[in-house]
Every structure is written in C-alpha cells, then in structure tokens.
Amino acid sequence: MVDEDKNDESFGIEVILPDDGKKGPPCPHGPTLLFEKVCAGNKAGRRFYACSACRDRKECNFFQWEDDKVSEARRLAREAEYRSKAPPFSQQQYRVRFRKVASQDDKLFCKDCQLLLLSDEHLAHGAHKVIRVNVSQLRRPTALLRPLESKKSNAQYLFTDRSSHFLLDALAALGYRKVLCVGTPRLQELIKMRNLEGNHETMESLLLDIDFRYAQFYSKDEFCLYNMFNHHFFDGEASNQVLGAFLKEADGQKVVMVADPPFGGLVKPLASSFTQIAQTWKKLQSPDSASTDLPMIWTFPYFFEPRILESLPSLVMLDYQVDYDNHPMYKQGKVGRKQTPVRLFTNLPPKDMVLPKEEGYRLCSKCERYVCSQNKHCAKCNVCPSKDGREWKHCATCDKCMKPSWKHCQTCGRCALPDHPCTTETGAPAGCFNCGSLDHKRRACPQKDGRRVKMSGGKPGKNKNKKKNNNNKKKNLAPQPRFKHKASHRSGAARRTRKDAAAAQMK
C-alpha cells in the first residue's frame, strides 16, 4: 500500500478503484490495489499494482506495473510463495486446539510463537518463553497477544476501558444487539465478557480482522480472517456465508458495524469495503427497511474528515475523543499535540449518541449533537466549529472559525500559523526562497552560503525521504513520491518530515 498522506497537489500517488470492480493480481493479502502516479497538471502517470494492506515493503513487496505480462511460471511461483505464508493452522484446527488447551490442567501459551500449546508441544518450545494461563486469560486475547504495533500495517492500538465501555453502552442503549467488529478485537472481547457476566442484555458479535492469531480464540462464526482494504475474506465463500448469516436481522436483532482501521490506511479503499458490507446487509433486509443504511461507526483521526465525507457523505464526525491503552500519544483529556485526534464517524443520528456529561460533553441544541466542553457554538457560522477539541475563534476577514493558534495573515489573505511561509495568489513564495523573509528576495538573502534555513519544523539540509526515493529508483520498485508538505513545497522552504507534517495538522 502507498501512503495517502504523501499525496500532494503537484506530485503524488493515488489509488484507483475501477468502476467495473476489476481486481488486481493477488499478493498474500488478497487482490492488490491499482495506484497511479499523478504529476503536475493532473497528467496521468504509469499505473502499478501494490499490496492493499502493507505500506512497508519489508512486510509485502508485491509490485507489478499495470501493463506487465506475468508468465504462468511466475504466477505459479507466486502462489506457492503465498501458500507458505498462510497461517499455520486452519480455523477448524485452531478451534480443536483451543478446546483441548481449555480442558488441559496446564494451559500454556508460547509468547515467542504467540500460540496456545497442546501439552505434548511443550518440549518443542523448550527454548521459548512459555507461560501458564488461566481461563480468564483465555477470554482476554487482546491482553495475552502482543499488540502488532507496526504503524505501516497492523497498528494494533487497543481501546481503553473508557472508550470500549462507552461504545458498547451507547450502542446497547440504542437497541443494537449484534455488533460487527471490523478490526475491533477488544470490543468483541468485551461483548463476550459482558455476556458471561450476565448484567447486560446479551449481544452477538463477529470479528473481521487480518490478525490470524485471533482464530485461536474464536469459532468460525465469531471470527473471519479479513482484509478491510480490499474486502477480501481469506476463507472465501465460507466467510461470506458467516457474514451473511450475521448481518441478517432475525427476530428484530439490530446490527451495527464498528470499524477501527489502522490510521495510516487509505480512506477510499476502506470506504469501498464498508460500502460492500452495507450492500450485503441491505440485500438481507426486509423490503420496508430498504431505505435505511447499515448503521456504522468508523473511528479515525479528525483530520481525515474531508476525505471520509467525500467517500461516505452520510457520515457525521462526533466530538468524542477515542483513546488507546498502548498508544503513547492518543490519550483522552490532554490538549494540543498530546490530545487524541481519533473521533467517531457515524451515520447514527448525532443527537442519539449521548456523550458522557461527566467528561464535559454537552448537547448543543442548535447543532443537535453533543460537543466537547471547549467547542462553543459560533453564532456567525451557526455551528460548533472545533474539530480538535480546542476553542476556535471566528476570523471576521475569512468569515469562518479558525484554530486558536492561527492568525490572519494580510500577505496571504487567509488565516495560518504565525510562522507559516507566505505565498502569493499563484501559490509562489511571497518572500525569500532561501529564508522565507518577506523583506528581500533570494538574490539579496544575507544567508550567503545559499543553504536553506529552517523555517518551521523542518531540518535544514536533511531529507530522509529523498534518500529513500533514490533507493527505490535503484531497485526499480514502485515510485515513491518525495514527501513534501503542501505549504513547504509551495514556499520552497526546508522540506518537512512526515512526523512534522502530522504534527502541523494538529497545531
């Protein structure tokens, strides 16, 4: 997969989802996606296929130009390679193993292999870290399994109790009794635990996730190995049937989907997969409910709002701040860059999603939705404008509410961060190309040695991505665009790293 946030107005890589639904050649993660390098002036570049799920070549290095002819021998060799990468056991085998382990006195789990062990397998894992587990640990696989934190594929960040209990309470209060958990293993786990406790209304759940380790803990009706970037079920038709049976609302049991994809993921393919799930749901409903859509909640960072709404316009972003146990930054209640940027996007009526009063959320009667404490209604814009949880200010010149850190710039004629590089109407740098000063042009720059100097965030003289790009060229791999933050590109200022750019979005 290719980074979406590397897209740039003048140079970037875009994913193409063919109207006819034509699938790309397979990699170990199912059909690959078609990408296109976009050049200045929207000139189409050469298209290529790459993995839908992994953005790190070390995890999946599939690459094929769209017009490449692949020989039969090469195709067969690829298939053999993929088979060797498949999970070590089938779902059925995992289930049999689980039952055996659960009935053993010594319930063992190999941390190195991330596998529950049968009693006669202990010796074979003698050199590994093997631990004893109890029945309640078997019910909490998200606590037992090591989270796969690779940012470039799994990004397995687990909900805090606060977030998972809030989600489940809110959905139960709205009458949902079946939760389709797409990439939300902790939610599935909580549903099962609550069912056992018996204090809550029983709920059903089905987990769709690419992490095959979960197959050890759940039956085939509770877990399907699934790739949410290409709507691919690794078990094919069998999983399709499981999904169909789950989505059918027998006895009036209402279904809701909750998805928490890896944050680096591409929005368009995700939206396409969720739409396909919604279409399957729709086909299974009675004709009188045919006008409604599958209720869904998609958790994702707030700065993806425009892209998500472009793909799924029926969704609305809620102010609720989703936080994670194992993410150092994404903690609720902090401010600025330390605050969690993850929000809920949903087609449920926002006024029905009651956000916790004790955390400061309140109902804005004008917007008819719950907002966070700092999100004050602006009479001029007639909305509660804040996206990031801070109090935004109305700019009379722009006639719009802006982030508190932004100031109106007379040169640019718009609001921006105070240390932004100014541009003219055409987007060209307004000041010095070298240091960004508005007092002189590059020719007269006092920085005589011609080296660019740091303007905001970027490290002068360093460009890690440029180096990476050269490497790619050398190996004739997929074109990787040099990452340029839009503002720094236009200004010609020192280029920023990806981390700087993400941080800038949150300023």
Where along the sequence are the contacts to Zn ion (CB under 5 A)? 27, 29, 51, 60, 110, 112-113, 125, 128, 364, 366-367, 377-378, 380-381, 384, 394-395, 397-398, 401, 408-409, 411-412, 415, 422
Of the pair 246, 406, the CB lying nearest ligand SAM is at 246
For residue 252, give both structure tokens: 């009036």
Give me the least distance between CB of 390 and Zn ion, in Å please. Answer: 14
Q: What does 34 bind: Zn ion, ligand SAM, none (CB cut-off 5 to 8 Å by kind)?
A: none
Residues 381-440 that bind ligand SAM (CB under 6 A): none
C-alpha closest to that of 239 among 210, 279, 196:
210
Q: Which stretch binds ligand SAM (CB under 6 A): 84-92, 102-110, 168-176, 223-231?
A: 223-231
Pairing type for strands 108-110 and 130-132 reads: antiparallel
Q: In this complex, which beta carbon is closest to Zn ion, that of residue 188 or of residue 456?
A: 456
SS3 content of the chain, % helix, strand, coil (to 5): 30, 20, 50
Residue 27 interacts with, from Zn ion, ligand SAM, none (CB under 5-8 Å by kind): Zn ion
Under rule CB under 6 A, which residues in 174-193 are in contact with ligand SAM? 183-187
Partnered with residue 131 across adjacent β-strands are: 109
Q: Classify strands 254-259 and 232-233 as parallel, antiparallel or unpaired.
A: unpaired
- Closest Cα partner for 208 from 247, 180, 250? 180
475 binds, among ligand SAM, Zn ion, none (CB under 5 to 8 A by kind): none
From ligand SAM, Zn ion, none, interface partner of 156 (C-beta below 5 to 8 A by class): ligand SAM
Given Zn ion, ligand SAM, none, residue 128, with its beta carbon under 5 to 8 Å by kind, binds Zn ion
Going from the C-alpha of 226 to that of each of 29, 47, 179, 185, the distances in angstroms are 9, 26, 16, 13
- The residue among 145 and 401 lying less far from Zn ion, judged by its C-beta, is 401
59-67, 206-214, 408-416, 496-504 -> range binding ligand SAM (CB under 6 A): 206-214
Pick the binder of ligand SAM from 35, 48, 63, 159 (CB under 6 A): 159
Which uninterrupted H or E stretch holds 108? Answer: strand 108-110
Compute the residue count for the chain: 507
Query: According to the binding rule CB under 6 A, does residue 156 interact with ligand SAM?
Result: yes
Per partner kind, with CB cut-offs from 5 to 8 A, the member of ligand SAM, Zn ion, none near residue 381 is Zn ion
Q: CB neighbours of 206 closer than 8 A, spacing ≥ 6?
A: 178, 179, 180, 181, 188, 221, 222, 223, 224, 242, 243, 246
Q: Given candidates 53, 257, 297, 432, which one binds ligand SAM under the rule CB under 6 A?
A: 53
Query: Which residues, in sequence order, are CB contacts of 359 under 8 Å at separation 6+?
Result: 332, 333
Number of residues that bind ligand SAM (CB under 6 A): 23
Interatomic CA distance for residues 410 and 275, integer angstroms: 44
Least distance in Å: CB of 186 to ligand SAM?
3
- Rounded to whole angstroms, the Cα distance separating 180 from 284 reads 15
Residue 209's binding partner among ligand SAM, Zn ion, none (Cβ under 5 to 8 angstroms by kind) is ligand SAM
Rg of the chain over CA atoms, in angstroms? 25
- Residue with the CB atom nearest ligand SAM in the bound state: 183
Tokens linked to 208? 């769709």
Smaller CB separation from Zn ion, 165 or 390: 390
Task: Please say whether the beta carbons of 228 and 273 come within 8 A.
Answer: yes
Contact flag: residue 155 with ligand SAM (CB under 6 A): yes
193, interface contact from ligand SAM, Zn ion, none, CB < 5-8 Å by kind: none
Contact in structure between 464 and 448 (CB atoms under 8 Å): no
- Among residues 4, 260, 319, 388, which is the contact residue for ligand SAM, using CB under 6 A? 260
* 3-state secondary structure string across 370-392: EECCCCCCECCCCECCCCCCCCC
- The phi-psi region of residue 119 (left if phi > 0; otherwise alpha if psi is between -120 and 50; otherwise beta) is alpha
Instruction: Please choose, from the candidates 29, 55, 322, 297, the residue with its C-alpha nearest in 3D space to the C-alpha of residue 182.
Output: 297
What are 248's two structure tokens? 């059918």
Name which of Zn ion, ligand SAM, none residue 144 binds, using a CB cut-off of 5 to 8 Å depending on partner kind. Answer: none
210 part of the interface to ligand SAM, by CB under 6 A: yes
Residue numbers 272-311 binding ligand SAM by CB under 6 A? none
What's the closest the beta carbon of residue 158 comes to ligand SAM, in angstroms? 4
Partner from Zn ion, ligand SAM, none binding residue 351, C-beta < 5-8 Å depending on class: none
Q: Is residue 258 at the binding interface for ligand SAM, with CB under 6 A as the rule?
A: no
> Which residue, 262 or 389, is less far from ligand SAM as judged by CB?
262
Binding site for ligand SAM (CB under 6 A): 53, 153-159, 183-187, 209-211, 226-229, 260-262
